[in-house]
Amino acid sequence: MTDAHPTPARSHERPPVYVIGGGPGGLAAAASLRAHGVRAVVLEKSDRVGASWRAHYDRLHLHTTRRLSALPGLPIPRRFGRWVSRDNVVRYLEKYAEFHDLEVVTGVEVTRVERAADGTGWQLRATGGRELTANAVVVATGYNHTPRLPDWPGRATFTGSLRHASEYRNAAPYAGQDVLVVGVGNTGAEIAVDLTEGGAARVRLAVRTAPHIVRRSTLGWPAQLTGILCRRLPVSLVDRLAVPLGKLSVPDLSAHGLPRPDTGLYARVREGSIPVQDVGLIDAVQRGKVEPVAAVESFDGDTVVLADGTRITPDAVIAATGYRQGLENLVGHLGDVLDPRTGRPRTPHPLPGLYFQGYTNPISGMFREMARDADRIGRAVAKHV
């Protein structure tokens, strides 16, 4: 890695390709560009690569297998196990940047991407008044970029602790407390289980829409492989097949307040809702350790009002309510490149010389798809420049 001063291209050289973001998507894209003979400079706003992974909660592991999660050109070490831990993901990303001898500049945050005045490249504005000229740009600032906390009525009046899941590390601060986790995606489900195992006195899980729950692995067969096989099949076919398979592998939790969803599994995926991979939630719900409750409607002093009218008084609320990608200021002015509903890129390659990497969350595995997309970006940019 280098310091916070990108080396400008010499007058007789082409400008480099700048990759914005030093997470797995950005590093994979940079390695692919290098493999295709293109100079790539990674600009990372923090002081190290893999910043978002360093900030995740302690018990997090990849829900995809080690073999199917490697980035281009470097396998994940066997000693990291089948389900790679957060700390080992960080170690892998550090080794990845070193192995590929990537040109990573830390401490530089790109705030705006604009077309160059001559129309042949791109201009990047960054912290410290920097203006960088790029031959092409790969935006890889991350899927989990900006925590999204709903503006619930009365939220400011809540006298308990209210934090976004991005601030959660482990259960130690919540020992002996009554905790409400809001959101039943993979993050909310895993945090709820972590709290029960870590000594919280009571754990409730606020559910707005019943999730699809799948086993991370069944008889050694990982759910990721099923996702890969199903990804190209018609949505209606996958939804029909998922119903009997779900009933065979996952017990009915309706009596415990978590009914089976009434919408198709793959239809929900196409809308951006990934199934919850079970890492203890089923058992915790069956044993009454995690209590599903209705969605949060509002706050009133020390009270949380739920959608069914129930009023509860938890000591702490952890909002696992997702993230925004935060791309509006960076590229929102470049025309119709972002979906106004989600804030995510409409396509991975909306304009000549502009590429997006890592803004989908497919059932086939985010790391796997970033690796595949990185190769496509490398080939496309090499042809472009």
Instruction: Return all residues near 372 (Cβ < 8 A) that are at least 6 apart.
Output: none
Q: What is the pLDDT of residue 7?
A: 55
Side chain identity at residue 329, one-letter code? N
Q: What is the pLDDT of residue 13?
A: 66
The label of the residue with tokens 């196409």 reads 270
Residue 48 has pLDDT above 60, yes or no: yes
Which alpha helices (H) appear in the chain, and where do they start and end? 24-35, 51-54, 86-99, 186-197, 223-230, 235-249, 265-270, 281-286, 328-331, 366-384
> Which of helix, strand or coil describes residue 179?
strand
Query: In which band, very low, low, confident or very high, does the pLDDT at 10 lie, cut at 50, 70 and 90?
Result: very low
Average pLDDT value over all residues in the chain: 93
Residue 12 has pLDDT above 50, yes or no: no
Closest C-alpha among 46, 53, 137, 35 to residue 366: 53
Residue 147 has pLDDT above 80, yes or no: yes
In the chain the domains, ranked by start, together with CATH numbers, are 17-145+325-384 (3.50.50.60), 148-322 (3.50.50.60)
> pLDDT tens, 278-319?
999 999 999 999 999 999 999 999 999 999 999 999 999 999
Q: What is the pLDDT of residue 108?
A: 96
Q: What is the pLDDT of residue 4?
A: 55
Query: In which band, very low, low, confident or very high, does the pLDDT at 6 lie, cut at 50, 70 and 90?
Result: low
> Which of helix, strand or coil describes residue 380?
helix
> Which of helix, strand or coil describes residue 269?
helix
